[in-house]
Amino acid sequence: MTFIEFKKYLLEAEITLPKFSKLIKVSEKNIQSYKKKGEVPNTIAVIVKSFSKMHEVGIDYRSSIEELELVAKVKKGAGFAKKAEKVKKEEKAF
């Protein structure tokens, strides 16, 4: 799936890219990097297409995904401690 198609499905699902990334617990920066590549990975393509279809038929996909209690992966190692704290703060704000 091209990044342009990905954005189209986001619109159909009535979700912004920042809210999409927070919902699936993937960094927005990571998803934005696919723009340069021109394509999104298969897993992201399946997710956004599914969200679009669920929205189309009136299924509240947001609450279903929130019930999964997904956790963002945090990089480990030198220099990543401050970033991990920032991610935790952002999750609390969501």
The answer to whether the beta carbons of residues 5 and 38 sit under 8 Å apart is no
Q: Which domain range does residue 46 map to?
A: 3-93
In this predicted structure, what is the pLDDT of residue 73? 87
Triad 31, 15, 24: Cα angle to 5°: 50
Number of neighbouring beta carbons within 10 Å of residue 6: 21
Q: What is the pTM of this model?
A: 0.76
In this predicted structure, what is the pLDDT of residue 92? 63
Structural domains in the chain (count): 1
In this predicted structure, what is the pLDDT of residue 88? 62
In this predicted structure, what is the pLDDT of residue 29? 94
In this predicted structure, what is the pLDDT of residue 75? 75
Query: Mean pLDDT of residues grouped by 10 in the chain (94 residues)?
Result: 97 97 95 95 97 97 95 76 61 60
What are φ and ψ of residue 71, in 5° steps? -125, 130
In this predicted structure, what is the pLDDT of residue 4? 97
